Structure 1
Amino acid sequence: MTEVSALEIHLGSFSFEIQQSICVWLCLCVIFAVFFIYAGKKIDQADPSKASKGIVYICEEALNLVLFIVNTNLREKTKKYIPLFGTLILMMLVSNLIGLVGLQNPTSNVSFNATLAITMWLMIQGNAIRKGGLLARMKELTEPMVLLTPLNIIGELALPISLTMRLFGNILAGSIITMLVYTLIKAILPWGVLGFAFTPFLHMYFDIFSGVIQTYIFFTLASFFLGQQVAEEE
């Protein structure tokens, strides 16, 4: 029995594949949309004079997590960007952890990571242009001297590449190492059964610890560079 890694769709003579990682992300979009709608209704009905519980408490803790990541960088603009960053942080966190249930991590797909990183980069550049205009933005790239303009441009273009490859490399490496360990266990059965005593620690690092850290790093960097363009200087 072979593992299904892509969904094949045939329309007459035309056919195309949708990778499992993308299917997982689309399913997560639907699940989170339903969750946020339901949670929003519960929050509206909640009594602010009483202690939060249930889904309202979960949402409050999720908000505290998002604020912990972006508030220092976005400062007074945090409230404006909370819906965007909050949604993406929670969805990426679940995406990084979903390998624990045997599904392919969306973040192990380089095209997915590149799309998300380019979106963040375009938002940063768009706000930079909106702040002072296109000419002012171009002038920033020539500072502190014109000779450094090529390096400044490379530095700007390096951000989406860095965000993409850091996330992709860490998540994919964890998936590959885990797969190799399970392949080794299967190859040396029955003695390989002893290896299952170590697999929980393997998943604890590559699926949980690494997934959480990579989510934190991705959005800390994205909010930092965005904060430089939208937040007031202290």
Structure 2
Amino acid sequence: MELSPDQTIFWQYGFITINLTLVTTWGIMLFLISSSVVVTRKLKTGLQISRWQCFVEMIVTGINDQIKEVGLNKPQEYIGFIGTLFLFIGVSNVCIIFPGYTPPTASLSTTAALALCVFLAVPFYGISKTGILGYLKSYLQPTWIMLPFNLISEVSRTLALAVRLFGNIMSGGMIVAILLSISPFIFPVIMNALGLLTGTVQAYIFSILATVYIAAAVQNTKNKKKPKILNTN
């Protein structure tokens, strides 16, 4: 039993390897890009719009609302990154209904790359708000003693993002494979249905956690107003 799509290699030359993870990742990216081009090609602003435009607007509105609820008041600045994370992970996991398909999120290399994107996005948005000095000061809050703990927190939560997504998706695929060998008719259908739910939930959790980390970086680096001194005279 193959535990990871990285083990399925189509072509290799030296250190250059084209495996199943790479193929499915690029396939999903091309699918998302082509779908967005087709859907947004004839957008309308009237009352009568196409079903696909209505579906896309529902997704965009839902993502914007979630970003606002986390604490980012201008979701249009973050929806490009957060929305892309959600759609890529969601589509990768939902396609598990197709026979023989292995999601790229079942590979630790993919989940590590996604977590690394979040790791780099947090300081990017933090620095873009108040500058590099303002962002670096957040590591010294509430006191300079917290500097090593804040640095460890940045690394540990990145690892947690990667391992959590990888573990949940890989374990679901392994359970389906085991049940398929035992009872090839009933249990795999049920597990695939549960896999759709689990895959969507994992995409939601990953994107929400990324939003929370970005919101924390942005809010921690905002210049605090000096407290007013009350006149007791």
TM-score of the pair, normalised by structure 2: 0.82
Do 2:90 and 2:199's aligned partners in 1 also have CA atoms closer than 8 Å? yes
- Inter-CA distance 63–184: structure 2 relative to 1 (3 Å threshold): same
Provide the residue aligned with 1:105 in structure 2.
103
Q: Choose from 65, 79, 82 the match for 1:82.
A: 79
> What pairs with 1:172-211 in structure 2 (closer than 5 Å)?
172-185=170-183, 196-205=185-194, 207-211=195-199
Provide the residue aligned with 2:214 in structure 1.
226
Corresponding position: 1:6 with 2:8: yes
Quote the offset at 1:157 in angstroms: 1.4
> What pairs with 1:13-162 in structure 2 (closer than 5 Å)?
14=14, 16-43=16-43, 46=44, 48-73=45-70, 75-101=72-98, 102-162=100-160
Do 1:131 and 1:229's aligned partners in 2 also have CA atoms closer than 8 Å? no
Aligned-residue Cα RMSD (Å) equals 2.5
Quote the offset at 1:84 in angstroms: 2.6
Q: Select the structure that is richer in helix.
A: 1
Q: What do the CA deviations read for 1:196-226 (whole angstroms, capped 9, x no partner)?
A: 2233222222x11110111111010101111
Do 1:6 and 1:17's aligned partners in 2 also have CA atoms closer than 8 Å? no
Aligned length: 216
Do 2:115 and 2:158's aligned partners in 1 also have CA atoms closer than 8 Å? yes
- Inter-CA distance 147–215: structure 2 relative to 1 (3 Å threshold): same
- Inter-CA distance 133–75: structure 2 relative to 1 (3 Å threshold): closer
Quote the offset at 1:161 in angstroms: 0.8
CA distance, structure 1, for counterparts of residue 103 and residue 31 of structure 2: 16
CA distance, structure 2, for counterparts of residue 214 and residue 73 of structure 1: 17
- Inter-CA distance 28–215: structure 2 relative to 1 (3 Å threshold): same
* Equivalent position amino acid for 1:180 in 2: I
Provide the residue aligned with 2:228 in structure 1.
none
Q: Could you list the runs of 5+ residues in structure 2 that have no partner in the other structure?
A: 224-233
CA distance, structure 2, for counterparts of residue 228 and residue 10 of structure 1: 42
CA distance, structure 2, for counterparts of residue 50 and residue 134 of structure 1: 45
TM-score of the pair, normalised by structure 1: 0.81
CA distance, structure 2, for counterparts of residue 109 and residue 130 of structure 1: 32
* Equivalent position amino acid for 1:223 in 2: T
Quote the offset at 1:21 in angstroms: 2.2
Q: Could you list the runs of 5+ residues in structure 1 that have no partner in the other structure?
A: 186-192
